[in-house]
A and B are shown apart, each in its own frame.
Chain A
Amino acid sequence: MSAPVIIYVPRDAAALAMDADVVARDIERIADERGLPVQVVRNGSRGLLWLEPMVEIATPDGRVAYGPVAPEDVPALFDAGWLTGGAHALHLGLTEDIPYLKHQERLTFARVGVIDPLSLQDYAAHGGLAGLKRALAMEPAQIVEEMVTSGLRGRGGAAFPTGIKWKTVAGSPSDQKYIVCNADEGDSGTFADRLLMEGDPYVLIEGMTIAGLAVGATYGYIYVRSEYPHAIATLEAAIARARSVGWLGRDVHGSGREFDLEVRTGAGAYICGEETSLLESLEGKRGVVRAKPPLPAISGLFGKPTVINNVISLATVPIIMAKGAAYYRDYGVGRSHGTLPFQLAGNLKQGGLVEKAFGLSLRDLLYEFGGGSASGRPLRAVQVGGPLGAYLPESQWDVPLDYEAYIQISAMIGHGGLVAFDDTVDMARMARYAMEFCAIESCGKCTPCRIGSTRGVETIDKIAAGGADTKQREQQVHLLRDLCDTMMGGSLCALGGMAPYPVLSALNHFPQDFGIESSQSAAHAA
């Protein structure tokens, strides 16, 4: 009997949402009926999400992809001889040669979709643990220095230099310090954290362990949103396995150093993605934002010095340590070093994850990767950076994706999520939604956010109801701009402070949707 053919069927929620479990079961059943020896491996997602479930067959020439595979396609795929890479309408060729994947620079996501996420052997065989082994041979201060040199900036949105944050925690003496991973990925249009946690959980564990070694923390928490039950299950299984082989615990990899961690589940509050609110939530309180200072790096979780980083930031630590700071730093442009996993979402033909060095343009992402709109209509606006990010009109799609270049056009790259809209979008409605979302999710601590967002919804409603009265409309627009100014200047955190970005960008770039003259708003936009 010949060796079984290995068939990869993703276990990522994106694949499960398209019946991947049924596909996997049908593959095993039909192979059994036909006497064909197969072994189904449940991998993570490659991030080509319009093709999920994307099934891969391991052939002597490499992995061959088929997708999107619906349960009813499975018998025909066997008929077409897919176990040897046979031709079929869903045949995509060698996975590595699919242009969408081939043109990426996968550093943080190198293993995602390639390996069985829970296999310790797979992880080690595909370059895992190299960073931690190097870190274990270094002094804590050297690790911190390496992170500073790498130029890595917080991938959760704020883009604060990770190494500097670590340096502050390392320099704050305490009997206990913590590493907290912010996995409360609540922004619409973002799913990189989820893909990573479900596709390569050990890289996050390794990154947090290195962070612990660097700053002298012995315990970590991963705060995952409750909307991600599959990510939670994968992380918990991974932590248990890592503990059982000594990758976590009192004697990490036999080094005599201690580090352990656990998963904590959020409860549907968007604001808990804000770091101080997340810490309150971990402490068992309402997720109400804390005033800063003190910085969490000095007085964080339970009042102890705390590193709080996003999933992607922490998961990028191992490759920086494995290949050296210079290797990572050489990717990117200006002060935006390294790569960012961009997330293509909304009205795009080819939505998915694209890890690329900073410096490419939105247009490249939308058309070279995204393939244009899913609806076939012209694209009109793209929201970059989540619900608090600006809406960009086509005239701005050639600005290089670089933190500083985006700040100059009053936009933000944030977490690298982008949501595309075609020409049927009503930007006044999207502006209203931004205020409404802020009103729903405000923690209520500061007035500009709590009250301002509600007044914002009302004002936009008045603009919409303005009818032919241009004068009244213009007065309300003036009020709305004034309100946005108050929210940006007076809010305690980014929710109230940045909710005006989508509103103002909609006003400035799409004034006709508000029934106002473009010349008048252009004067304000300057």
Chain B
Amino acid sequence: MHQREAKSDLASSGGARGGKLALDAAQASPTPAIAATARIVARLKDLPGPLLPVLHEVQHELGCIPAEAVQTIAEALNLSRAEVHGVITFYPHFRSEPAARHTLEVCRAESCQAMGGEHLAAHARAKLGCDFHASTADGNFTLEPVYCLGLCAQSPAVMIDGQPHARVTPDKLDRLLTRTLEASS
């Protein structure tokens, strides 16, 4: 009993925390996000430079990197929470809040602009009724800008749930969005 308390103290203290002890405790956590994060960290922590692979895996499994995961990652990798937070917020790909059921990424870079990309972006905003970096009220779509999908000879391009689509007109976008909703319902 006494020993268990010591573990928990270690995990929450500023200086001596971290490493295997914290990870074992976290894997047994009743909070699913913490337990899942701890399993991922345990698997990847010995990679050289493990933080980005860990964050990718956590986001892949949980849909985002929630605050409670940040503490677990920091403790297990002997980093401060500020360092982990700093990395998460530096990279546009990582998100702290879950996205909607589907993600629409619209390319806003030069090549797509040369082929009506801005018009398409305005159409996407109007159609979904939300701005970039936001989600629709019904929780169906998150709208994100992307700076190049590498489909520049077939502009404008978008990506829906990781699937690329090229030569996208406003009409084609409407059809793609409808198809996406139909496929998931």
Contacts and interface: CB of A to CB of B under 8 A. Distances in A.
A344 B111 CA distance: 10
A269 B111 contact: no
Contact of A387 (B53, B109, B159): B109
B152 A188 contact: yes
Contact of A49 (B55, B154, B159): B154
Given A52-B154, A269-B91, A16 B52 contact: no
A267 B91 contact: yes
A387 B164 contact: no
A284 B147 contact: no
A16 B164 contact: yes
B112 interface: yes
Contacts of A268: 91-93, 146
A386 B48 CA distance: 32
Contact of A285 (B87, B149, B154, B165): B87
A72 B115 CA distance: 25
Contacts of B109: 188-189, 387, 437
Interface in A375-411: 383, 387
Contacts of A49: 153-154
Interface string B149-180: 11111110101001111110000000000000
A387 B110 contact: yes
Given A286-B86, A343-B153, A419-B114, A17 B164 contact: yes
A441 interface: yes
B114 A347 contact: yes
Contacts of A347: 114-115
A281 interface: yes
Contact of B155 (A270, A284, A346, A383): A346
Given A16-B164, A269-B90, A228 B150 contact: yes
Contacts of B52: 264-265, 267, 281-282, 284
Interface residues of B, number: 40
A265 B49 CA distance: 12
Nearest to B149: A227
B113 interface: yes
Contacts, number: 148
A191 B151 contact: yes
Contact of A267 (B56, B150, B159, B164): B56
Contacts of B149: 13, 227
A82 interface: no
Interface string A400-435: 000000000000000001011110010000100100
A261 to B, nearest CB: 13
A440 B146 CA distance: 12
A284 B154 contact: no
Contacts of A346: 110-111, 114-115, 152, 155
B91 A287 contact: yes
A185 interface: yes
Interface string B88-112: 0011111000000000000001111
A105 B4 CA distance: 69
Contacts of A443: 90
B51 interface: yes
A380 to B, nearest CB: 10
Interface in B117-159: 146-155, 157, 159
Nearest to B94: A267
A285 B55 CA distance: 12
Given A18-B154, A345-B152, A430-B110, 6 more contacts: A13-B151, A16-B164, A189-B110, A286-B86, A346-B110, A346-B114
Interface of A: 13-14, 16-18, 49-50, 52, 185-191, 193-194, 226-230, 264-270, 281-288, 302, 343-348, 351-353, 374, 383, 387, 417, 419-422, 425, 430, 433, 437, 440-441, 443
